[in-house]
Structure formats: C-alpha cells, structure tokens
Amino acid sequence: MSIVVVSDVHLGMDEANEEKFIDFLKGLDFGKIEHFILLGDIIDIWRRDFTKAVIECSRSLTLLNDLASETKVHYVVGNHDYYLLRLSELFGNNFPFEVKKSTIIKSRSQEFYFMHGYQLEVLCNPYYKSMKTYETFSEHMCLTGDDTGNAAEALWKLHQSNKSLWDALKRIPDNPYEALKSMMEPPETRIRNSHKHNIIEPIEELAGAETKHFLLDIRPEHFLIYGHTHYPYINNDKKVANTGSWGFGDDNKFFYMEIVDDKVDLKEFD
C-alpha cells in the first residue's frame, strides 16, 4: 500500500510554484497510489478573492479532479483553505473531493492520523486556545475577498462595527487586532519569529507528546502526520512527522511524503 502526502502548496500566492506542482502530479504513478492526501493550504484563499484563486488555479485543480478517478483523494482542510470545508458540505457528493478536518488511514499495521496542524498552533499560540475562535477567523479570512492583503484591517472594522461575529465565539483573544495581524503572516514568520511568539518548539513538543490525545481528537497509538509549520521532519520514536511545504519554509524546497507498508519517508521533488 502506498500513501502520498503533500501540504502547504498555497496556490494563488505570488510565491507559489504551480508549474512545479503540476509536474509533480503528472510524474506520480497514481495507479500504484492507493491514497493521495492533500494536507491543507493547497489553495491560499486568505490573501485573495477565493473565486479568482480557484479560477487561476484551474489547471492544478482540474488535474487533481481527473486523478481522483485513479486513486482515493483526501482533502484535509487547512486554515488558508478552510472555506472548502463549507463548500464541500454545501455541494455534497457533487464536490470533487472528500474534505475533512482530519482523516485516519491504516497502512499495513499502523494507523496514520492526518491533520493540517493549525490545531497545534491554536493550542500553543498565546492569542487563542479556542479552536472555534480560530476556525471562525479562518473562515472569515477566506471570505474577505481582499486582494490587497488588508483582510486583518477589514475584520477589525467588522469587529468595531458589528459584534455578531465575536458574540458567537467562546473565547475572544485579549488583543483581537494583533491576533488578526498575526494570522496574516506566513508560518515561517508567525511561528518562528522569536521577537513575537516563537512557538515552533511547543508545536513540535505537543505533536510528539504521549498525552496529546487529551487535547486533540487522536488516539495514543496513532502516527500523526501534519503540515502547517513548513518545517519537515520525521520522529519515528514519537510517531509524528511533518510534511514540510511546497517551496516555502527556510530552504524553499519542494517536500512531500510517502508511506509504504508503515514506513514514512520524507522526499524532495527536484
């Protein structure tokens, strides 16, 4: 059994490399891949109008749609493409992919738990702790239609003029405007900038903790695969791995992951 995983492609951003992603998809032998996991933030619809983003990424999305006839495609939603979860719920079986917040797949004898990883940041980020708060923010970020990158400003004005969004939340950040600005930054800036709140180590510590099932919908025996931080690694002892990103992160390399008979390999596409 073969499982291939890729995350954080961020199609729609100026820095994204769609041509390389298309070459990657065309080069895979989907006849031998039983499960293909899109592990979130494949499309970036925080920084632009989501309709335009879908149209501009039509070559990649059409190719993925066609490949779904050869293998099982799973779309695990990320924070930057969170609205796809709503679209899939709206269109039901007519939507091209199964879209979930997480999914579990058994390889040979090991069950793998796939999630994007924003959930880990929520629990480690001093601005949040409430999953509902963060997911509500993420959905509204996807709906701002803000091509100029001022979505945080737009949402702040909404907060000032209309409290209905915030009234529905269980826990409001102490500083909503700074929280919104933080969300607009890419992970390598938001998560790793020690002058703000360096939470990359707490995220990895939580991801590998034996007690993470007290905080996340995961079982102790699961092997966790996540993305989001753009920092790839594998820790077999703690049963956790990160897929890295597609041309982002510190090294700007194109990472993906392959799982064959329980063995997890981190690979780079040249």
Contact 40, 74 (CB under 8 A): no
Q: What is the pLDDT of residue 262?
A: 96
Q: Are residues 219 and 96 part of one domain?
A: yes
Average pLDDT over residues 29-55: 87
Q: Are residues 101 and 37 part of one domain?
A: yes
CATH of the domain at 220: 3.60.21.10
Q: Are residues 159 and 39 part of one domain?
A: no
The number of domains in the chain is 2
Q: Are residues 204 and 149 part of one domain?
A: no
Q: Are residues 22 and 109 part of one domain?
A: yes
Task: Fill in the amino acid letter for 42.
Answer: I
- Which residues, 6 or more positions from 94, have their beta carbon under 8 angstroms from its beta carbon? none
Percentages (nearest 5) of helix, strand, coil residues in the chain: 35, 20, 45
- Asked if residue 191 has pLDDT above 50, the reply is yes
Q: What is the number of other CB atoms lying within 10 angstroms of the CB of residue 262?
A: 14
Task: Fill in the amino acid letter for 18.
Answer: E
- Which residues, 6 or more positions from 15, have their beta carbon under 8 angstroms from its beta carbon? 247, 248
Q: What is the pLDDT of residue 134?
A: 82
- Which segment, 35-49, 122-136, 208-222, 241-255, is predicted with the most confidence on average? 208-222
Q: Are residues 131 and 111 part of one domain?
A: no
Cα distance between residue 3 and residue 35, in whole Å? 5
Q: Are residues 99 and 65 part of one domain?
A: yes
pTM for this model (two decimals): 0.85
Q: Are residues 107 and 24 part of one domain?
A: yes
Contact 235, 208 (CB under 8 A): yes
- Asked if residue 150 has pLDDT above 70, the reply is no
Contact 188, 248 (CB under 8 A): yes
Range of the domain at 134: 124-190
Q: Are residues 147 and 175 part of one domain?
A: yes
Q: Are residues 167 and 136 part of one domain?
A: yes
Residues in the chain: 270
Contact 164, 219 (CB under 8 A): no
How does DSSP assign 119-186, residue by residue?
HHHHHH-TT---HHHHHHHHHHHHHS--TTS-HHHHHHHHHHH-THHHHT-S---SSHHHHHHHHHS-
Q: Give the residue, 177 or 135, on which the prediction is more confident.
A: 135
Q: Are residues 34 and 115 part of one domain?
A: yes
Q: Are residues 134 and 99 part of one domain?
A: no
Task: Fill in the amino acid letter for 7.
Answer: S
In three state form, how does the secondary structure of 25-74 look? HHHCCCCCCCEEEECCCCECCCCCCHHHHHHHCHHHHHHHHHHCCCCEEE
Q: What is the pLDDT of residues 53-112, one digit of tens each?
A: 888 899 999 999 888 778 899 999 999 999 899 889 988 888 888 899 999 999 999 999
Cα distance between residue 243 and residue 254, in whole Å? 10
Cα distance between residue 152 and residue 46, in whole Å? 10
**Domain termination residue (choose one: 156, 190, 224):** 190
**Domain termination residue (choose one: 149, 170, 190):** 190
SS3 267: strand
**Domain termination residue (choose one: 169, 190, 211):** 190
